Structures are given as C-alpha cells and as structure tokens.
Homo-oligomer: A and B are copies of this chain.
Amino acid sequence: MSAFDVEHSVRAAHAASRVLAATDTSTRNQALEAIATGLLTHQGTIEAANAEDMAAGREIGLSDALLDRLLLNPERIAGMAEMIREVAAFGDPLGEVTESSTRPNGLVVERVRIPLGVIAILYESRPNVTTDAAALCLKSGNAVVLKGGSEAFHSNRALIQICRDALEATGIPADAVTFVDTREREAVHQLLQQDEWVDLVIPRGGEGLIRFVVENSRIPVVQHYKGVCHLFVEESADLERAVDICLNAKAQRPGVCNALETLLIDAPVAERFLALLGPRLAGADVTVHGDPTVQAHLSDAKPASDEDWDTEYLDLILAIRVVDGIDEAIDHIVSHGSGHTDGILTNNALLARTFVNRVDSSAVMVNASTRFNDGNQLGLGAEIGISTSKLHAYGPMGLNELTTRKFVITGNGHIRD
C-alpha cells in the first residue's frame, strides 16, 4: 500500500471547499445534524475503534489521566453530538455585510464575510476536538484537514468517516472533512508546505508542537504558546472579593490556559491581603512560590526563583509577588506575560483605565476572574482555539474568526479617471 499522499488530499479538500462555500445555511446545518445523528447511530463503531486506541495506550504505558482523556463512552459521544447541534443552532456568519458605503462617484463598496477556504488543525487533544473542529469549520463554510495525535488514531479515523458519510448524504463532497490518515510525522511537515491549498493552520497542543508548526509552516498560523496569566490586586480593591476572584482564577480548574499563574499585590495592602488569602489557598491545596515579602507573611510559601515568573504551572501552584504600585505591576506583566489574560482588581476607575490602556493582552480583565477568557463565556458561541498572536484574531476564535471579508464593488459603468 502506498504512503498517504498529503498533496493529493489537500487538493481534494480545496476542491471541496469551493463547493462548500457556495452552500446555503440550511444545507450546512443539515450536514451538521447528519453528523450528530451519525455519531449516535454508530456509537458501537466508535467505541470499538476507541478500544483499540485504549489498548495500545495501556501497552505503551500512558498515564491514567491521559487514558481518561482518550476514552470515548456513550455519555461522551452523546456530548459530542450535542455540541454539534449547538453549532448548528448558531447564526450563519457567511454573507454578512460588515461594512457598506457609497463613494462620492456613486460606487457602492461593501465588505462581505466569506470562508477562509481550507483550515488544517493539528492537535494532540481528546478525540472530541475532531468533531468540534469539524463542526465549527463546516458551519463557517470551510473545509477542514484534521491531524490528531497518534494515540487517538483509530478513534479519529472512525469519527472522521462518520463525518464524511454524513456530508455525502447531504450532497456536500466528503473531502470537506479530510483525515491525514497516517501516523508518519513526515506527513505534518509536508502538510505545512501546502500554502497553495491550505489557508490557515491551527496547532492545538503542547508548546513543542506549536513551535514546530511556526518554524516549519509556509501557511499562516494562528496559535498560542502558553497562558502565564496575571492578576494585580490594587490598593483600593475590595479585598474580600479579590480573594474570591483569585481563588476562582487559580483553583477552579488549574489545568487550563486561562487559569491564574502569577498574582501581583500592591505593597500597601500586601500584609492584609495575604492574611485573608493565605488560609484560603491552603484550604484549596495551592502551593505558593513567593518573593521575600510574601514569604515573610505566609510561612508556608516557598521562595520564588526567576523562573517562576515565566512559568505556566497548569497546577495548584501560584507565584506571588508584592509590587510597588500599578507601574511596577504593568512592567512585570509586560516582561513576563504571554499576552493571554491579565487583569486588575481595583475600585479606582482611573487606574482601571490606565491598566486597560497599557496592557495589550488578548483579554484584559477588570474585577473579574481570568477564567472568563473563553469563547462561550464571552458570547462567541464556541471557540476553535485562542490566539495570542495579534494577526487575524487575538483572543478566543469563534465562527467569525474562521472567515475573511472580500470587497464587493458595484458600479454602473464606472471607469477611473
């Protein structure tokens, strides 16, 4: 059997994208419904494929946590179908006229939302990403090329076959959902050279994968490396509320990118705030890495090293530093932040304004937990990922961020002088 042909596959995806772009809203929604139904109908097939991955995972010694992420059971499959139906219920981003004006010469200039074309998604995550990503791409009129982690190979193959069958049943070319049906790493490198056929690559996974993609891709990449998220407790903050926010930001779900990693406390309130915060952190099993002032007030705190200020723990660990006012807080965030999510807790409106103006992270929070930087929470409906690079999309990417806008210019025999 011959090796998987990357170029042939992405050309097919590109051809399918042309057909998909011309479909109306209801056809795309029918396709999504057919996928959701297919997942439920073929639950047994999915479970059987997943069992192969689980067995192989056990054999190579995957951790229980990773095995749990890999597992597909009836409840999870039902959740995936439900998610696809939610995407189907969203408004159609395509065809929206986002700007319209008439020039002095009478020419009508509009900007109209269209799909990007073909989107490649490289991911290491749970198999549900396969159907979530396919649903968001199809809804926004984009063909999608999927390359998941090799540990989920059989599961992904089964899920994608269900998507392709559902597309064909709806009259959309199956290649609108294309599987990179190989475990060879070389395929990823080949894929990243296909800038003639693929419009965007979204890598989702560890920093190693993302750096590999950025360094090797000719196709534009939207990515985020990590989330070293900060909160600054300013002197005027309501300290009781600030404790609740810090606890929520750190401990509600520590393993995600919008969790708090470094807390900056304004010097005048440091002692009082740490006295309130310390017991709550301890109660939530959070280990503190603190500067000398923090250590003086929190006996359990370990000393923070320089490295701590740049670390995304994704764990029940919190770095804490006492700073001398808002300027030092902003300087720290600018130097050590990752452009993901940073916030201020304050009752001083002017300082809140200063912070918002000077911090250019993808999400700047005022008196709210960092955990709100999430497509669903911000009203985007769902997100396909989050971007901390500023081009095209900055922050959570919803359906609109999977589109672009063309100019449509209507005249009446207009010629240029």
A interface residues, Cβ below 8 angstroms from B: 18, 21-22, 101, 103, 107, 109, 112, 114, 116-117, 195, 199-200, 214-215, 218, 220-222, 238, 241, 244-245, 247-249, 252, 334, 343, 352, 356-358, 360-369, 371-373, 377-379, 389-392, 394-396, 404-416
User: Residue of B at shortest CB range from A111?
Assistant: B395
Q: Is the CB of A378 within 8 A of B395?
A: no
Residue among A352, A361, A405 with max Cβ neighbours from chain B (10 Å): A405
Q: Roughly how many angstroms separate A357 CA and B46 CA in the complex, as a whole number? A: 38
Q: Roughly how many angstroms separate A330 CA and B55 CA in the complex, as a whole number? A: 51
Q: Is the CB of A366 within 8 A of B199?
A: no
What is the minimal beta-carbon distance from A55 to any residue of chain B, in angstroms? 37
Q: Roughly how many angstroms separate A244 CA and B417 CA in the complex, as a whole number? A: 12
Q: Roughly how many angstroms separate A103 CA and B18 CA in the complex, as a whole number? A: 36
Indicate whether A410 sits within 8 Å of B215 (C-beta atoms), given known contacts A391-B116, A394-B405. Answer: no
Q: Roughly how many angstroms separate A364 CA and B22 CA in the complex, as a whole number? A: 16
- 9 tightest Cβ-Cβ pairs between the two chains A and B: A368-B411, A248-B415, A241-B413, A392-B392, A368-B414, A371-B416, A390-B404, A363-B407, A220-B391
What is the minimal beta-carbon distance from A161 to any residue of chain B, in angstroms? 29
Q: Roughly how many angstroms separate A361 CA and B369 CA in the complex, as a whole number? A: 42
Which residues in B have their C-beta under 8 angstroms from that of A252?
415-416
Copies in the assembly, this chain: 2
Q: Roughly how many angstroms separate A53 CA and B404 CA in the complex, as a whole number? A: 41
Indicate whether A391 sits within 8 Å of B361 (C-beta atoms), given known contacts A248-B416, A366-B409, A410-B366. Answer: no
Q: Is the CB of B107 within 8 A of A368?
A: yes
Indicate whether A360 sits within 8 Å of B413 (C-beta atoms), given known contacts A109-B379, A220-B389. Answer: no
Give 24 pairs: A residue, B residue, CB < 8 Å, sorted on A.
A107-B377, A109-B378, A109-B379, A116-B390, A116-B391, A220-B392, A244-B413, A245-B413, A363-B408, A364-B406, A364-B409, A365-B409, A366-B408, A367-B411, A367-B412, A367-B414, A368-B411, A371-B416, A377-B416, A378-B409, A391-B392, A394-B405, A395-B406, A395-B407
Complex partner residue of A367 from B356, B372, B413, CB under 8 angstroms: B413
Q: Roughly how many angstroms separate A116 CA and B222 CA in the complex, as a whole number? A: 14
Q: Is the interface of A mostly helix, strand, loop or mixed?
A: mixed
Q: Roughly how many angstroms separate A364 CA and B409 CA in the complex, as a whole number? A: 6
Complex partner residue of A365 from B334, B366, B411, CB under 8 angstroms: B411
Q: Roughly how many angstroms separate A249 CA and B415 CA in the complex, as a whole number? A: 8
User: Residue of B at shortest CB range from A221?
Assistant: B220
Q: Roughly how many angstroms separate A416 CA and B21 CA in the complex, as a whole number? A: 37
What is the minimal beta-carbon distance from A60 to any residue of chain B, in angstroms? 33
Which residues in B have their C-beta under 8 angstroms from that of A22?
357-358
User: Residue of B at shortest CB range from A403?
Assistant: B390
Indicate whether A356 sits within 8 Å of B199 (C-beta atoms), given known contacts A245-B415, A379-B101. Answer: no
Q: Roughly how many angstroms separate A247 CA and B413 CA in the complex, as a whole number? A: 12
Q: Roughly how many angstroms separate A269 CA and B79 CA in the complex, as a whole number? A: 57
Q: Is the CB of B410 within 8 A of A367?
A: yes
Indicate whether A411 sits within 8 Å of B364 (C-beta atoms), given known contacts A22-B358, A395-B406, A404-B394. Answer: no
Q: Roughly how many angstroms separate A391 CA and B217 CA in the complex, as a whole number? A: 14
What is the minimal beta-carbon distance from A207 to any residue of chain B, in angstroms? 14
Q: Is the CB of B362 within 8 A of A406?
A: yes
What is the minimal beta-carbon distance from A364 to any residue of chain B, in angstroms? 5
Q: Roughly how many angstroms separate A369 CA and B116 CA in the complex, as a whole number? A: 26
Q: Roughly how many angstroms separate A134 CA and B195 CA in the complex, as a whole number? A: 30
